[in-house]
Amino acid sequence: MLKVKITKKLNSFVLNKEWEVKGGEIVTLFGPSGSGKSITLKTIAGLVSPDEGIIQLNNITLFSSASQINLKPQERNLGYVPQSYGLFCHMSVFENISFAIKEKNKDVKKNIALDFIKKFDIMSIANSYPSEISGGQKQRVAIARALASNPSVLLLDEPFSAIDINLRKIVREEIKFFLNQWKIPIVLVTHDFEDVKVLGTNLIEY
């Protein structure tokens, strides 16, 4: 379970939010641009520090202003997919996914990467580079890489905003199918209500 209770002063307003999401659920942070959705995601990821509050994941405190706890991003065991996907342009699809896997044994690591590539139906582009694949394919690769790290929570920031509108319906359904296979909390940021209808199980308005 992910619990969030934070306050963050921004340029034009004060972000003050409290919510939680259980394993196997998707919570959707829904609202217009500039309402603090992405900032909330970045506070969970450890990229931005709240002014006050507490963030806990499976009873582990990631951030606490009262206890002066603020774990580094790499210590939080989470998967984070930014709007730009965050793929390494100099690595192939296979290499991008392999990079996230913590296993030290090379053969085991290779097999895990191949398993994710098969699950996400991207074998045909395994040796391609991000510049050579479509937006929908990049989205699948980015989520596969995030899940390959075996995270305790998955954070998705506007996952369909960079995809052609004609492809969004197809990609939403694909991603819904993939995400339903993992029983971890998932936090989705969006301002598109179609994302809420297709994916969201719990709506948090911003």
Q: Alpha-carbon distance 117 to 39, whole Å? A: 30
Rounded alpha-carbon distances, angstroms, from residue 179 to 26, 37, 147: 9, 21, 9
Name the class of domain 1-78+154-206: alpha beta
- Tens of pLDDT along the chain (206 residues) come to 999 999 999 888 999 999 999 998 999 999 988 899 999 999 999 999 999 999 999 999 999 999 999 999 999 999 999 988 999 999 999 999 999 999 989 999 999 999 999 988 899 999 999 999 998 899 889 999 999 999 999 999 998 887 878 778 888 888 888 788 888 999 999 988 888 888 877 899 99
Which amino acid is located at 200 in the chain? G
Enumerate the domain spans of the chain.
1-78+154-206, 86-150
The whole-model pTM stands at 0.92
List, for residues 94-127, the tens digit of each pLDDT value.
999 999 999 989 999 999 999 999 988 899 999 9
Contacts of 107 (CB under 8 A, 6+ apart): none
